[in-house]
């Protein structure tokens, strides 16, 4: 019963994790980061709302533009400070120090608020304090978001962060709900002026929790300062070398304008909302400030609930259904509509301006932090990777802060103009303030309409860049607006242009939406060139749909090349409910091109009556026995389209021996298409020949899961060549089903050496990162770390061998040999083994890099590997720096020291946490290496026996007998040579069993030894 409860709870846990799109090993880090972000955000929102209450009550909304202007300089200044801290402190210290520094002024602000009557240069300390509080709130939001983003990027790799960061970032939305509803209670308990203390306590608590998190996962952070001066110069040169010109420039300008307008509209709505809130304040003094803060708290809580619901349940689904650009237009269009309605309702005295602004700000806040955040990454998608980060920095780090400051200046100008133009009696004239707000709302409406126009401009340029990116093979397929892409493909295919560009568009569309590709291609089939018609029909045949039957039928009635006509006939046959078989019979005539004739015959054999099938069979029989190669090739290909081979099966044995390679390759595809199990061995044999390898591989892949047992048997047969076994693993990777990935991952855990390397490369090459995700789903991050640790321990054994065997120089006790000669021979043999071990070290390091590619971006790992492999100290240092800032496994230090330029002894000591090194004599170390024979390469194993023979070292009987059965011939040769010296009597008993060895060299060696030992016995 207890076990049932445990398994039940585990099932519930897995179900919850699947619903959150999390893996179990990510839960702790995600929850801790969520708590850090939520706690600090709650404190900052409390501080912000109380500061707004104090500011509006004491100084009025007309002073807010100065806040906007001052905040424009906060972002760039804090960015400089943050960058400077990273230069002098390790990153894991920087993030904690920044969060702790955020909390310190919050405790000091409470002191300044109490000095209302004390002035400096005519300005009260309270005013200065509240002004600085608001600026500090803005600064803290920037720092908190930056801190959270950087910390998350360190704690989670590129694949984990796609799942975890949406949950972490939702901490701000949750904080809005919690802080909003709790603020009225907090004000009642501690008072408005003491909220800063509680806010500081919350931020400080967040910093303590972040300190625990960075200590627990300290391997995720680099140990040294992040940047050096040399690297800054290099990066600066690289950045300045990137130019945005041509179509990219036309796209970047409206893209920057999009985010600038979003910020300008947001600031204007925010300012007018607070202005109206000031005039709705029913009382003055502390009670008025508390009323404002309480109102904002309830407002923030309600708005937060809607934001959380929208972000979790609506944002991504809305983008998928209506497209990126329609979604992007919702916010500006909605603001424009609400603004117009507010103006009309206010002038008609139906609704007050304040109510209209509440709705306007609610709508802006709701969609600004949900839909706009969801759409933003997609808008940057067409920009090449090498300049994308630069443009994002320009938008977020320069454009938005500057636009905030410029908007502040614009607000001051508008306030001055309206004060001069609009009639009013005094500063508290309600009608004047309402009219002033309507002027601002009118400006907001105009800017929102301009924003909609900018979205339209982005869409038009987005289409062009999608096409260019597709042509250059640069566009990813994870975050693309599918509707925009389809429009781009149609526009590109219909207008004049190069066939290569159009072919690239079709290929990209096929990759992204293969099931609905006919929706785009069918209406334009007739206007495409014949080559693209063929490509389009081949693509549509992967998912035939009756909806496009008439378009293909109309195409088939035109004069077409044979290849295109054959594809059209096949599509019509597959999608038509009642196909007219008699319409295919004219195509059976001998004067029809073999491509069309073979296709027609195969289609008739599927559904024709007995007489029709006999006629089609006779046509194919004539093609299969024709003297011309093209006739036999097309006839053979047609067999693959027939449901039943019937009497034509008799021709398969002869076709397998056909003199034409094209016929034999076509027949392999037939065997796969018709699932002729009796000929499956021919497919496996085809993998062993260079001429038929590719065709056999494609045929086996078409069998999908049916081929898995055959491939597993072939891949695990140690007596097959490495090349053939590689083809079997490759076929499993190309099949790519869940079952195939299961086989690959299970063998990844148990295999070693070349086999493990091959499997890793195959999994990494699988499309859409299916292999990477398959490995992470099955063994997870912890499993990959275990594999890396295995490689490190093996490298430790290699270093131990290199260190202990370095003492091998000369040997004695050689019978009938000169000692110096023997010493020279032994030394040469020892060097061979040392070189073999060095090769094993390089292979193990290569496997470490391959394993890291499952956890971290491929380009980053590849850059580190390239720099480290160069051997130049400066480049090696850069490679280690890349790894230090990327890798976050538990044994990170051991891994980095492994790639550094140290001696084997130093590296061995750095691996002490994984293996304890005990010096051994050379002979004992050799025997230890042979105990690890399953991990050694064939050549290293042979070198071990050669060295034992030259040095006259004794090996165990088990080691010798097991290696005598090794599948590689030269290993068996080395064992026999060792036995000849070490135990001639045992060798004499074993030789008769080895006379029929499959390796010719080994069998010749056995015969020679039998003759020599037999002659010696007679004498």
Residue 739 or 388, more confident: 739
- At 833 the pLDDT is 92
Indicate if the alpha-carbon torsion angle 343, 346, 350, 352 is positive or negative. Answer: positive
Is residue 92 over pLDDT 50?
yes
- Secondary structure (H, E, C), 920-935: CCHHHHHHHHHHCHHH
- At 792 the pLDDT is 93
Give the alpha-carbon dihedral of 496, 502, 503, 508, to 10 degrees: -170
Residue 919 or 351, more confident: 919
Phi, psi of 601 (to 5 degrees): -65, -40
- At 764 the pLDDT is 94
Report the length, in residues, of the chain: 1019
Is residue 746 over pLDDT 80?
yes
Q: pTM value?
A: 0.76
Is residue 883 over pLDDT 60?
yes
Residue 328 · residue 334 · CB < 8 Å:
no
Mean pLDDT score of the chain: 82
240 confidence band (pLDDT: 50, 70, 90):
very low
Is residue 497 over pLDDT 60?
yes
CA distance 769 to 237: 33
Residue 440 · residue 272 · CB < 8 Å:
yes
Residue 17 or 798, more confident: 798
Reading the block at residue 471, the tokens are: 């042509």
464 confidence band (pLDDT: 50, 70, 90):
low
CA distance 431 to 261: 29
Instruction: Dump the DSSP string for 700-751.
Output: HHHTGGGGHHHHHHHHT-TTS-HHHHHHHHHHHHHH--HHHHHHHHHHHHH-
Give the alpha-carbon dihedral of 385, 387, 389, 391, to 10 degrees: -130
Give me the mean pLDDT over the 947-952 stretch. Answer: 90
- At 695 the pLDDT is 92
Q: Directed axis angle between helix 770-778 and helix 780-805, to 10°? A: 90
Q: Over the stretch 254-272, which tens digit does the pLDDT of each residue have?
A: 888 888 899 899 999 988 8
**Angstrom distances, CA of residue 673 to CA of 585, 676, 710, 893:** 24, 8, 16, 53
- At 477 the pLDDT is 44
Residue 296 or 32, more confident: 32
Q: Over the stretch 955-999, which tens digit does the pLDDT of each residue have?
A: 988 988 899 888 888 999 999 999 988 888 888 888 888 888 888
**Angstrom distances, CA of residue 390 to CA of 53, 261, 384, 395:** 38, 20, 10, 9
Q: Over the stretch 392-425, which tens digit does the pLDDT of each residue have?
A: 666 766 677 788 888 888 988 988 888 888 876 6
- Label the pairing between strands 123-124 and 119-120: antiparallel
Residue 772 or 190, more confident: 772
Q: Over the stretch 531-579, which tens digit does the pLDDT of each residue have?
A: 888 988 988 888 888 888 888 888 888 888 989 998 998 888 888 877 7
Q: Write the DSSP symbol of residue 219.
A: G
Is residue 467 over pLDDT 80?
no
* Residues above pLDDT 70, as percent of the chain: 85
- At 711 the pLDDT is 94
Element (H, E) at 120: strand 119-120
- At 809 the pLDDT is 53
Using DSSP, state whether 225 is helix, strand or coil: strand
CA distance 531 to 529: 6
Radius of gyration of the chain (CA): 37
CA distance 32 to 209: 8
């Amino acid at each position: 019963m207890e076990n049932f409860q445990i398994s039940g709870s585990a099932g519930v846990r897995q179900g919850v994790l699947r619903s959150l799109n999390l893996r179990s090993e990510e839960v702790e880090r995600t929850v801790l980061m969520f708590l850090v972000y939520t706690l600090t955000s709650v404190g900052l929102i409390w501080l912000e709302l109380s500061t707004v209450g104090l500011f509006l009550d004491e100084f009025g909304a007309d002073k807010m533009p100065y806040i906007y202007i001052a905040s424009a300089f906060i972002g760039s200044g804090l960015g400089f400070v943050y960058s400077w801290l990273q230069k002098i402190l390790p990153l894991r210290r920087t993030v904690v120090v920044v969060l702790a520094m955020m909390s310190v002024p919050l405790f000091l602000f409470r002191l300044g608020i109490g000095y209302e009557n004390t002035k400096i240069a005519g300005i009260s300390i309270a005013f200065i304090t509240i002004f600085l509080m608001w600026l500090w709130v803005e600064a803290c939001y920037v720092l908190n978001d930056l801190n959270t983003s950087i910390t998350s990027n360190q704690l989670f790799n590129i694949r984990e962060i796609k799942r975890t960061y949406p949950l972490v970032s939702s901490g701000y939305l949750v904080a809005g709900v919690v802080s909003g509803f709790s603020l009225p209670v907090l004000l009642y308990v501690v008072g408005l002026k003491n909220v800063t203390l509680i806010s500081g306590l919350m931020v400080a608590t967040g910093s303590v929790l972040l300190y625990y998190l960075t200590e627990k996962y300290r391997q995720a952070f680099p140990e040294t300062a992040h940047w050096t001066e040399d690297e800054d110069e290099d990066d600066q040169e690289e950045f300045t070398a990137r130019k945005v010109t041509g179509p990219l420039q036309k796209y970047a300008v409206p893209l920057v304008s999009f985010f600038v307008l979003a910020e300008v509209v947001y600031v204007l709505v925010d300012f007018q909302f607070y202005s109206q809130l000031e005039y709705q304040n029913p009382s003055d003094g502390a009670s008025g400030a508390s009323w404002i803060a309480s109102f904002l708290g309830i407002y923030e809580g309600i708005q937060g609930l809607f934001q959380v619901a929208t972000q979790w349940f609506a944002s991504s689904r809305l983008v998928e259904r209506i497209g990126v650009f329609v979604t992007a237009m919702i916010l500006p269009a909605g603001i424009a509509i609400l603004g117009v309605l507010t103006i009309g309702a206010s002038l008609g005295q139906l609704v007050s301006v304040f109510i209209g602004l509440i709705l306007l700000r609610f709508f802006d806040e709701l969609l600004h932090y949900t839909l706009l955040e969801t759409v933003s990454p997609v808008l940057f998608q067409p920009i090449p990777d090498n300049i994308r980060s630069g443009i994002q920095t320009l938008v977020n780090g320069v454009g938005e802060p500057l636009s905030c400051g410029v908007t502040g200046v614009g607000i001051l100008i508008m306030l001055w103009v309206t004060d001069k133009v609009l009639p009013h009696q005094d500063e508290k004239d309600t009608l004047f303030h309402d009219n002033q707000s309507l002027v601002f709302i009118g400006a907001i409406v105009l800017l929102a309409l301009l924003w909609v126009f900018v979205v339209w401009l982005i869409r038009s340029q987005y289409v062009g860049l999608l096409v260019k990116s597709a042509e250059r093979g640069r566009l990813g397929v994870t975050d693309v607006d599918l509707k925009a892409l389809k429009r781009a493909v149609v526009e590109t295919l219909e207008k004049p242009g190069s066939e290569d560009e159009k072919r690239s568009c079709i290929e990209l569309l096929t990759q992204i939406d293969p099931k609905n590709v006919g929706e785009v291609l069918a209406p334009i089939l007739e206007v495409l060139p014949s080559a693209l018609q063929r490509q389009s029909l081949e693509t549509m045949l992967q998912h035939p749909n009756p909806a496009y039957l008439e378009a293909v039928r109309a195409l088939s009635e035109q004069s077409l090349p044979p290849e295109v006509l054959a594809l059209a006939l096949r599509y019509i046959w597959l999608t038509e409910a009642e196909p007219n078989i008699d319409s295919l019979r004219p195509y059976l005539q001998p004067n029809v091109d073999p491509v069309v004739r073979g296709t027609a015959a195969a289609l008739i054999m599927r559904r024709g009556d007995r007489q029709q099938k006999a006629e089609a069979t006779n046509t194919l029989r004539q093609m299969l026995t024709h003297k011309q190669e093209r006739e036999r090739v097309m006839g053979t290909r047609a067999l693959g389209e027939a449901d039943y081979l019937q009497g034509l099966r008799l021709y398969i044995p002869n076709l397998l021996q056909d003199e034409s390679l094209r016929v034999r390759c076509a027949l392999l595809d037939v065997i796969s298409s018709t699932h002729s199990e009796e000929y499956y061995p021919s497919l496996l044999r085809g993998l062993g020949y260079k001429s038929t390898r590719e065709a056999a591989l494609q045929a086996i892949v078409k069998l999908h899961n049916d081929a898995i047992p055959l491939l597993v048997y072939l891949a695990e047969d140690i007596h097959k060549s490495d090349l053939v076994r590689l083809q079997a693993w490759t076929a499993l990777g190309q099949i790519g089903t869940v079952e195939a990935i299961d086989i690959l991952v299970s063998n990844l855990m148990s295999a070693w050496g070349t086999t493990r390397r091959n499997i890793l490369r195959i999994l990494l090459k699988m499309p859409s990162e299916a292999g990477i995700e398959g490995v992470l789903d099955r063994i997870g991050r912890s499993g990959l770390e275990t594999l890396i640790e295995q490689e490190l321990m093996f490298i430790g054994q290699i270093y131990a061998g290199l260190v202990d065997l370095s003492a091998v120089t000369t040997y004695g006790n050689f019978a009938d040999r000169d000692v110096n000669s023997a010493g020279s021979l032994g030394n040469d043999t020892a060097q061979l083994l040392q070189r073999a071990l060095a090769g094993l070290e390089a292979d193990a390091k290569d496997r470490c890099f391959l394993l890291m590619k499952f956890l971290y971006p491929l380009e980053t790992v590849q850059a580190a590997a390239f720099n480290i492999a160069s051997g130049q100290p400066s480049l090696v240092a850069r490679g280690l720096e890349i790894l230090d800032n990327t890798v976050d496994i538990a044994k990170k230090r051991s891994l980095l020291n492994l790639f550094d330029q140290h001696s084997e002894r130093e590296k061995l000591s750095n691996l002490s946490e994984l293996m304890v090194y005990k010096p051994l004599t050379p002979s004992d170390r050799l025997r230890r290496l042979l105990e690890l024979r399953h991990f050694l390469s064939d050549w290293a194993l042979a070198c071990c026996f050669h060295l034992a023979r030259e040095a006259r070292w004794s090996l165990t009987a088990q080691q010798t007998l097991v290696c005598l059965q090794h599948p590689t011939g030269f290993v068996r040769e080395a064992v026999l040579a060792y036995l000849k010296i070490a135990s001639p009597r045992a060798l004499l008993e074993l030789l008769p069993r080895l006379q029929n060895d499959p390796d010719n060299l080994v069998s010749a060696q056995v015969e020679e030894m039998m003759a020599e030992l037999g002659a010696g016995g007679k004498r």
